[in-house]
């Protein structure tokens, strides 16, 4: 059945004596009021928990048959937004794909038709009574335990296509990962957060956060940069570390909008350890390459007096500064090449400048941003002495 959108559609339902059913319910306009919010939530959730359907507000019925269009609902006080607020505020979890059609009857009165799709993320509960309802013939009835279990099992039929998770870089920097883990593309992906994360820099302006993702092919992954663990897990940190995420999207497998929900709590990582960074997995190869380089230099009879030991018995002992300037030393030069700070790991700043981890992380975060107007002096812990060292070793203004 198509959703009625004009008065003529309602008149056709009346003249055709379209009977109420599992998928259709008629309601008088007086059913729409602030005191009837709970009843509206019960009716809407019952359709979602059953097989979906349409509720028409503004038609009188007798013996389940439409008789006439009544005076209508004052759309100045009860508009589409009012219905959306009633439904989303009184049904849990949130319902997806609901369509509300306002059908003008006069200058200040309207009928309303609400289309509720069958839900694959239920069961849905009326919040005030904490009960679940379903459609049975022409009535709304509380659900039995086995019926609740059946609706819950729909989730097993329709697998999630979107995953929202945490990824770490060098066990320090945090990224949020959004991935299409399904085998089909999703469309119109919208992310909502509660509360909103404390996005660093201009990340909050990322198009996928502001506008959503129009088409999301299988296997694609997006990363959103967040803060570092030392910044977040500090006891006095104002950075949001715990929030909920809702990913709403069109799922072609059920021809419907669905919502997947995720809970993120970064404090779960307190006192836990992380696997080694890929950087360390390559350490053996780097060490061997350096040993080979040392042998070649010795064959040429070049002096290595100005170099520290680069391959000791306990493993790799080569500083980042030495690597960056090896060619200058071998060429006999004294001037060291400055380092481009953009995109560098926090460890570079810690080693070259001799600063603590948290300040190094703040510097790394600063240079991740592409903001020419930003001032290094705004970073907590940056002194004039440190600024002079930064300008000595890095390519900065």
List of residues 6+ apart from 220 with CB closer than 8 A: 179, 180
CATH architecture, domain 7-156 = 2-Layer Sandwich (3.30)
Residue 276 predicted with pLDDT over 60: no
Tally of CA atoms within 13 A in the half-sphere of 34 that contains its CB: 1
Distances (CA, A) of 5 to 12, 102, 104, 154, 355: 12, 7, 9, 30, 66
Residues of CATH 2.60.40 domain(s) within the chain?
A: 159-269
Residues of CATH 3.30.950.30 domain(s) within the chain?
A: 7-156
* Token pair belonging to 117: 């799709």
The string of pLDDT tens digits covering residues 326-364 is 666 666 666 667 888 888 888 888 888 889 888 888 888
The string of pLDDT tens digits covering residues 117-141 is 998 888 999 999 999 999 987 889 9
Domain 159-269 belongs in CATH node 2.60.40: yes
Length of the chain: 397
Helices (H), 50-197: 80-90, 145-152, 154-157
* Token pair belonging to 72: 């209508």
- As a whole number of angstroms, the distance between CA 361 and CA 370 comes to 16
Determine contact, residues 351/339, Cβ cutoff 8 Å: no
| Concatenated DSSP letters of 247-280 | EEEEETTTTEEEEEEEEEEGGGGTT---PPPHHH
The string of pLDDT tens digits covering residues 225-274 is 999 888 888 888 899 999 999 999 998 887 888 888 899 999 888 877 66
Q: Using CA of residue 55, residue 56, residue 57, residue 63, what is the dihedral sign? A: negative
- State if pTM tops 0.85: no
């Amino acid at each position: 059945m198509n959703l009625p959108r004009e008065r003529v559609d309602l008149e056709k339902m009346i003249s055709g004596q379209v009977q109420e059913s599992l998928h259709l319910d008629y309601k008088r306009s007086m059913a729409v009021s602030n005191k009837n919010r709970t009843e509206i939530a019960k009716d809407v959730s019952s359709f979602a928990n059953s097989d979906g359907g349409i509720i028409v507000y503004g038609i009188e019925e007798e013996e389940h048959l439409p008789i006439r269009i009544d005076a209508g609902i004052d759309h100045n006080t009860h508009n589409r937004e009012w219905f959306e607020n009633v439904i989303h505020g009184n049904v849990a979890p949130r319902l997806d794909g609901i369509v509300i059609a306002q059908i003008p009857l006069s200058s200040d009165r309207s009928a309303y038709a609400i289309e509720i799709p069958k839900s694959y993320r239920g069961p849905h509960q009326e919040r005030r009574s904490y009960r679940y309802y379903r459609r049975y013939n022409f009535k709304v009835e509380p659900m039995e335990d086995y019926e609740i279990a059946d609706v819950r099992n729909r989730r097993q039929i329709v697998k999630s296509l979107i995953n929202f998770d945490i990824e770490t870089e060098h066990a320090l920097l945090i990224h949020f990962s959004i991935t299409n883990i399904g085998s089909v593309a999703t469309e119109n992906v919208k992310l909502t957060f509660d509360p909103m994360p404390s996005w660093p820099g201009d990340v909050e302006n990322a198009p996928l956060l502001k506008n959503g993702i129009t088409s999301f092919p299988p296997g694609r992954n997006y990363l959103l940069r967040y803060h570092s663990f030392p910044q977040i897990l500090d006891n006095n940190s104002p950075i949001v570390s715990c929030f909920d995420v809702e990913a709403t999207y069109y799922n072609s497998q059920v021809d419907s909008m669905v919502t997947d929900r995720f809970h993120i709590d970064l404090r779960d990582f307190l006192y836990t350890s992380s696997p080694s960074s890929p950087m360390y997995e390559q350490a053996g190869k780097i060490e061997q390459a350096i040993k080979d380089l040392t042998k070649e230099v010795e064959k040429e009879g070049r002096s290595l007096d100005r170099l520290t030991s680069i391959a000791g018995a306990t493993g790799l002992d080569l500083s980042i500064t030495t690597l960056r300037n090896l060619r200058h030393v071998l060429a006999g030069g004294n001037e060291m090449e400055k380092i481009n700070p953009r995109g560098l790991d926090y460890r570079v700043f810690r080693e070259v400048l001799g600063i603590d981890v948290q300040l190094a992380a703040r510097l790394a975060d600063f240079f991740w941003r592409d903001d020419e107007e930003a001032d290094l002096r705004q970073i907590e812990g940056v002194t004039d002495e440190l600024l002079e060292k930064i300008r000595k070793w890095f390519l900065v203004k």
